[in-house]
Chains A and B, each alone.
Chain A
Amino acid sequence: MINGISINYYLLLSTVLFIIGAVGVMARRNSIIIFMCVELMLNAVNLLLVSFSTLHNDATGQVFVFFIMAVAAAEVAVGLAILSMIYRNLKTIDTDILSNLKH
């Protein structure tokens, strides 16, 4: 029990949030929305790490979440720079048009 709440509920909540993010990646065509859904999945995992860290009373999980946040910030900075450069050259960020690697 964390705080009167079983760890299973946190597992369930993280799973649902992760799957909403995964469905968003599959169902949308706008690259920026896909990027945001990836952030959502990262957050679901972060939430689970913090809950297990609290459960076992071990700070390592929370330190890892701190590092994941730093890596996510770096990822977003580079990713959005790439997307804005793509938009400048092609005037679109539609994933169905950005399919040069497929042909």
Chain B
Amino acid sequence: MLGYTITQWIFGILSFLAIMFALMVVFSRNPINSVLYLVLTFFCVAGHYLLMNAQFLAVVHIVVYSGAIMVLFLFVIMLMNLNENTEPQRTWLTKIIAGVAGGLLLVVLVGSLKGAEQLQLASYGASQIGLVKNLGKVLFSEFLFPFEIVSVLLLAALVGAIMIGKKEIK
């Protein structure tokens, strides 16, 4: 197909969709639409993970981001009853300045990456590190201590969120 392999086609389509949905997150006026477009972006990123055979991360990404974090965002937006009419807008001047600043940053980063050599490593088919079995071995041997610390962090965040969210502390 036009000299490209099927993987390259999938990569191109997923990248295009991810960038389009990410742009829609920034440009849509209704916050609910922004959240839904961000969920679609995350699905595209999960597709990229699958393309790199990082199966565990793809599943965790969908469960944690699309399943938990974005639902939390949706709930908060619905509790605050935000919609297009309540949405504060910046002036056009500020928006243009933000776009120009982002464009300049893009030029600098792409310019610095352009000189980078095309890294060519062994073919990907042999990469099995993203599978649950291999990742679990690394996670529970080399990174056991950080893994336990993360559980403490999540507990602290849980307690902190409840304390902040309470109406008044007696």
Contact = CB atoms under 8 A, between A and B. Distances in A.
Interface string A63-91: 10111011111111110111111011000
A16 B154 contact: no
Given A62-B54, A67-B146, A77-B158, A30 B87 contact: yes
Contacts of B157: 73-75, 77-78
A33 B34 contact: yes
B69 A20 contact: no
Say whether chain B's binding surface is mostly helix, strand, loop, or mixed: helix
Interface residues of B, number: 87
Contact of A47 (B45, B106, B130): B45
A53 B127 CA distance: 10
A102 interface: no
A76 B22 CA distance: 19
B69 A73 contact: yes
Interface of A: 1-9, 11-13, 15-17, 19-24, 26-30, 32-33, 35-37, 39-40, 43, 46-47, 50-51, 53-60, 62-63, 65-67, 69-78, 80-85, 87-88, 93-94, 96
Interface of B: 5, 7-8, 11, 15, 18-19, 22-23, 25-26, 31, 34-35, 38, 41-42, 45, 48-49, 51-54, 56-57, 60-61, 64-65, 68-69, 72-73, 76-77, 79-80, 82, 87-90, 94-95, 97-99, 101-102, 105-106, 109-110, 113, 116, 118-127, 129-130, 134-135, 138-139, 142-143, 146, 150, 153-154, 156-158, 160-162, 164-165, 167
11 contacts: A6-B118, A11-B116, A16-B106, A17-B19, A21-B22, A30-B88, A36-B38, A54-B124, A62-B130, A71-B153, A77-B158
